[in-house]
Amino acid sequence: MNRNVAILALIVILAGGGYWYYSKSGAPDMNGAAKDAAGAASDAATAVTGAATEAAGTAAGAASDAATAVTGAATEAAGAAGAAASDAATAVTGAATEAATAVTGAATEAAGAVGAAASDMANLFDPANFDIDKVNAAIDSSTLDDATKTSLKSTLSAAKDNPDTLKAALEQIKQALGL
């Protein structure tokens, strides 16, 4: 249908263009054939206008029918979407509750593990619970540079047999590790 309207519009444009060209061409005398062509162009324009009006009316009717069908489909889709959204909200609420419970449990366990690790670290640097291998492992697992690690281990080895210097060495290691 749009193709027919486009063809009719092209005919109108060509007829109008031809009429304009011949009227502006400066021909010395416009004879009867040119007047007939202008009349035919005018008649063609009238016919095209009528056909275009009819096509527009048909297109408007089809558009109205399509709009009615789309409105009905949209109403049905909205109802289905509402039901799906309600189901999804219920599922999300349940999943969120389960996730919150799991996160709370994991956080509790993590807090307990952190507390235990902090307690182990505090005991590790207590001269009464001194274990040179564990302290060396703590130094090795730190982010300190290798020269500092070597220096701390040497200090620890030299102080391991003297309780007074051991306490000072353990304090120095704690500070170096940021504890």
Burial of 175 (0-12, 13-18, 19+ CB in 10 A): exposed
Q: Kindly report, residue by residue over 121-157, the tens digit of the pLDDT.
A: 667 778 888 788 988 898 898 888 999 999 988 988 8
Residues 93 and 130 in one domain: no
Assigned domain for 120 exists: no
- Residue pair 153/137 in contact (Cβ under 8 Å)? The answer is no
Residues 92 and 131 in one domain: no
Residues 76 and 157 in one domain: no
Q: What is the mean pLDDT of the chain?
A: 77
Q: Kindly report, residue by residue over 31-78, the tens digit of the pLDDT.
A: 666 677 777 777 877 877 777 677 767 766 766 776 677 677 667 766
Cβ contacts of 56 within 8 Å, gap of 6 or more: 5
